[in-house]
Amino acid sequence: MDWKEVLRRRLAAPNSKKNEKELKEEEMDLFTKYYTEWKGGRKNANAFYKSIPRFYYRLPAEDEVLLQKLREESRAVFLQRKSRELLDNEELQNLWFLLDKHQTPPMIGEEAMINYENFLKVGEKSGPKCKQFFMAKVFAKLIHTDPYGRISIMQFFNYVMRKVWLHQTRIGLSLYDVAGQGYLRESDLENYILELIPTLPQLDGLEKSFYSFYVCTAVRKFFFFLDPLRTGKIKIQDILACSFLDDLLELRDEELSKESQETNWFSAPSALRVYGMLLNYATIFILEHYVCLHFCPPGQYLNLDKDHNGMLSKEELSRYGTATMTNVFLDRVFQECLTYDGEMDYKTYLDFVLALENRKEPAALQYIFKLLDIENRGYLNVFSLNYFFRAIQELMKIHGQDPVSFQDVKDEIFDMVKPKDPLKISLQDLISSNQGDTVTTILIDLNGFWTYENREALVANDNENTADLEDT
């Protein structure tokens, strides 16, 4: 309650018989009292605020070279200290020895188990670096259906290994964080991958002259999916959370299976496929144009570039894949994406490929949705759907197929997506429906639409072929 309220109540008292002068004097006394208390409180508050340690330091400006060097050096020392806190190979081996020594019978199959009591004993003997792993919450996370309340020694050790790997990788990435703000710019990630290549046995087939082109392709995947707003930087935390770095570091395995290599965006077979087939042409092309080679499975960039100018025109891009994408969709690609004199460079092409090959992913759907949203309203309506499907109908006529009614396709699309607004399909509706890849395919690609229309016949045919193979 403030002093004005106290005074009002006193003046409103029914038994008050004071004259006006006395009331004014009392008012001034009360005002002085409360003002003094308030001012004293402000002083105490200021003294309290000054006792809080400083926690914000501005970043040094570009011209403050000495401060920048000091900051870089302090970060390097900090990261080195953090690196020394991690378990090394010898300490990991010692931990495994202790776990194996304290396993708790009986064994279930070939899997060694350990109970909570022995778990704590190992924690006491394994040293201070391991203390963080031997906690009740870690044990509780790993306990499952064991009737004796134990956890798998192998699962726990893998958990420790994964934690150590994540910390090592974070420190390694942080060394390339020039800004020191917890994110990597495109050039930072390029430097990281470039220096990582010699440590990956699966990339031994790449010559050094092709390293920069490989890096171009590898970095693009990170930025397409982890930087959807195109800010030009990615949080290190996001890099660690996604599976891309796992795929890249999987190339350390000298015995990686052929199937794993074929499905890995970063693998050498894709690079060698382009390198081997187009060696002479590629060498001249690189020297003259300094354009990245496309090492991903489609391997089509140089094949599409018929005039060998290092860029793709709309006509050249139209031959991508099965060459059945509509001109209307390709027009939108060249309207919305970055081009140079109406032609597409390699990085823009990579975004295009990543979007079309990963249509189930939100980042890919966001890319395609922007192209389909011709009125830039943030949703697709009947007009938008009809605009793109008319091009599919025209291609069907050209190929001698009977055109399908747009009304039927429109109803199927809305039935699949089930948008919140029955007349509009938002990007979130498309993602939430898990049908975004199907919807976008039937609107932009004749081959994709034909496959969707004949899906039942194709499934039946596959079943027949499978049955025939089993009979033989």
pLDDT digits (tens, 9 = 90+) for 108-142: 778 899 999 999 999 999 989 999 999 999 999 99
Q: Which residue has the tokens 């959370």?
A: 241
Q: What is the pLDDT of residue 118?
A: 94
Which of 458, 385, 456, 459 has its CA nearest to residue 415? 385
Sign of torsion over alpha carbons 249, 253, 254, 260:
negative
Residue 292 has what pLDDT? 41
- What is the model's pLDDT at position 193? 93
Look at residue 202 in the predicted model and tell me its pLDDT: 85
Q: What is the pLDDT of residue 270?
A: 66
Which residue has tokens 């893998």? Answer: 158
Whether omega before 60 lies within 30 degrees of 0, making that bond cis, reads: no
Q: How many whole angstroms separate alpha carbon 272 and alpha carbon 203?
A: 9
Contacts of 421 (CB under 8 A, 6+ apart): 379
* pLDDT given for residue 442 in this prediction: 93
Residue 402, SS3 per DSSP: coil
Helix (H) or strand (E) holding 34: helix 20-50
Residue 384 has which token pair? 């938008």
Q: How far apart are CA 410 and CA 430, in angstroms?
A: 14
How would you classify the pairing of strands 151-152 and 183-185?
Answer: unpaired
Length of the chain: 472
Please list the ranges in the chain whose pLDDT falls under 50: 274-299
What is d(CA 340, CA 60) in angstroms, rounded to the nearest whole number? 37
pLDDT attached to residue 277: 37
- CA atoms of 114 and 384, how far apart (whole Å): 61
Helices 89-101, 153-174: axis angle to 10 degrees equals 160
